[in-house]
Amino acid sequence: MKVLIVDDDRVSRMLLGHIIGREFGGAITEAIHGAEALEVLKRQTFDFILLDLMMPVMDGLQTLEAIRANDALRQLPVVILSAVKEEQKVRRILQLGVTDYLAKPLQPKAIVQRLHRIVPPIMEAKQARGDEGADEAVPSQVEELKPLVEIVVADADPIFRSFVRSTLGREYRIIDAETGAKALRRCQEARPMMLLLGEGLGAVDRALVVRKVKAEPELKGTLIVGLVPPARNGMPGRNDAAPSDPLTEKTLTRTFVPAAFRGQFAKIAFGMQTAPAEGGEAGGEIVAGVRLELVSTVEQVFGMMLGVDVEQLSAHPQIPGTWISAEVDLTLLHEDFTLGVVCACPAETGNRIATLMQSTSSDWVGNDLAAAALGDIAAIIAERLQRTLAEQGRRVQSSVAAVKRGPSRGPEQALLRLSFNSYDGDLPFHVAVRGDVKAVPAGAMTHSARTM
């Protein structure tokens, strides 16, 4: 593993270098500012880069912009160091795309935990691309690396599992399971976006796997897709529907033709091939495809702007009292469909967020400032989602954040509910995505305010 650490502080570079060397045995290269880093990147390739933001000569944001503007480096995984309070900078960083962040000051134990979460997907993606020899390659050979979303492939046939890995492994983290029991375990560990369910799974058969996954609240967001044999007369085409499967809502024909498999997969994952017939279903598919990216965005916003590590919770705690919420509508033009990105938290949490964002020592900044801070966060998260949807070929327009204050009510009708809290448990925060079917003419801007 090769890592470039870019930080003007020698103590930080040394600390990070020690930790990476000890935990992963990586080869470390150091640069003291962005200009030096770009010089190094011209000559060597790296698996990822740790990039501080505040540096002399060329700061981290300028460096990130230069990296993303370079065809050879565009997909280089970048982990941001240090906290950024300015909303505009956070927006720009998320727009440019980063893999993760490490909040400063660096806490050795937290860094070790975080790196163990960050590094494996990067290295697995590298392995999936089959570019183990790329260490010696010229930078122009740096390949595409997209944010990793997990898919569990449960099938007895190792050749088919390998086929799925080679076909989808560049875009997704493919997790193998040769038996039903292993598939369940992998699902519980990874909470994947999708479970591809094949045949010959042993004692824990397909039906049992489906029952168990559906009964698991944490796997509510996991779409179960049955792998079914091809029709008798040959292989499916890119747009052919797979035969139905009584156990699962969606099916994929078990083909070894990459284009046919990818075509079917895209249709299920993003609804790319067909117009949505029903808002809820279409919204569910869209949201399933962006779920992990939303989680990552929320973590990055909190980590970079507030210097607080938050984690996604498996349950959705109901906290009484006054809540504030902010919502940004994303109108999917030509699809008669609107997604509402809702951020909500107790008023106390909103106050703490505003206090951290403004670096003020006041105990209470007032509800208006707290609501405004929440609106800023909602806008940043919605902007990231909008960009992802645009990358899928969708035309999207956003509204301004509408802020609402009111009693606590859970977002029961949401297509997606995500609950977060800081590790010390004093920053409860919800993000929900609602879906509404409504005819909105192209070019229209919507404003809305809803209670959660």
Partner 1 sequence: MSSSDRFMSHVFPGSPAIDSEAIEHLRLLEDEEEPDIVGELIRLFLANTPPRIANMVSGVKSGDLVAVGRAAHSLKSSSAHLGAIGMHQVCEKLDGLKDSTHVDEAAHLVGLLQKEFEVVSRALQVIAADD
Of 104 and 316, CB closest to partner 1: 104
Distance CA 154, CA 169 (A): 15
Shortest reach from residue 435's CB to partner 1, in Å: 42
Convert residues 67-96 into a mask of x (bound to partner 1 by CB under 8 A) and - (unbound).
---------------x--------------
Binders of partner 1 among residues 3 to 42 (CB under 8 A) are 8-12, 14-15, 18-19, 22
Which parts of 178-249 are beta strand (E)?
A: 194-197, 223-228
Diameter of the chain measured on Cα atoms:
72
β 2-6/48-52 pair status? parallel
Q: Does 54 bind partner 1 (CB under 8 A)?
A: yes
Residue with tokens 């489906």: 210
Shortest reach from residue 243's CB to partner 1, in Å: 56
* Alpha-helix residue ranges (DSSP H) falling in 176-257: 180-190, 206-215
Shortest reach from residue 61's CB to partner 1, in Å: 14
Of 112 and 241, CB closest to partner 1: 112
- Sign (positive/negative) of CA torsion 95, 427, 148, 225? negative
Shortest reach from residue 56's CB to partner 1, in Å: 6
Cβ atoms of residues 2 and 44 within 8 Å: yes
* Binding region for partner 1 (CB under 8 A) out of 99-107, 294-302, 308-316, 394-402: 99-107
Considering only CA atoms, which of 60, 48, 57 is closest in space to residue 90? 60
Shortest reach from residue 361's CB to partner 1, in Å: 10
Of 8 and 131, CB closest to partner 1: 8
Main-chain dihedrals φ then ψ at residue 440, nearest 5 degrees = -120, 120
Q: Which of 215, 277, 359, 425 binds partner 1 (CB under 8 A)?
A: 359
Of 13 and 430, CB closest to partner 1: 13
> Which DSSP helix (H) or strand (E) runs through 111?
helix 108-128
# residues near partner 1 by CB under 8 A: 20
* Binding region for partner 1 (CB under 8 A) out of 105-113, 273-281, 330-338, 417-425: 105-113
> Which DSSP helix (H) or strand (E) runs through 345?
strand 337-346
Shortest reach from residue 109's CB to partner 1, in Å: 6
Distance CA 201, CA 211 (A): 14
Neighbours of 95 (CB within 10 A): 13
Main-chain dihedrals φ then ψ at residue 358, nearest 5 degrees = -100, 0
Terminal Cα-to-Cα distance of the chain (whole angstroms): 45
Q: Which of 39, 42, 56, 256 binds partner 1 (CB under 8 A)?
A: 56
Residue 227 makes CB contacts below 8 A (sequence gap 6+) with 155, 160, 196, 197, 198, 199, 251, 252, 253, 254
Of 106 and 324, CB closest to partner 1: 106
Shortest reach from residue 103's CB to partner 1, in Å: 11
Of 102 and 195, CB closest to partner 1: 102
Q: Which residues bind partner 1 (CB under 8 A)?
A: 8-12, 14-15, 18-19, 22, 54, 56, 82, 104-109, 359
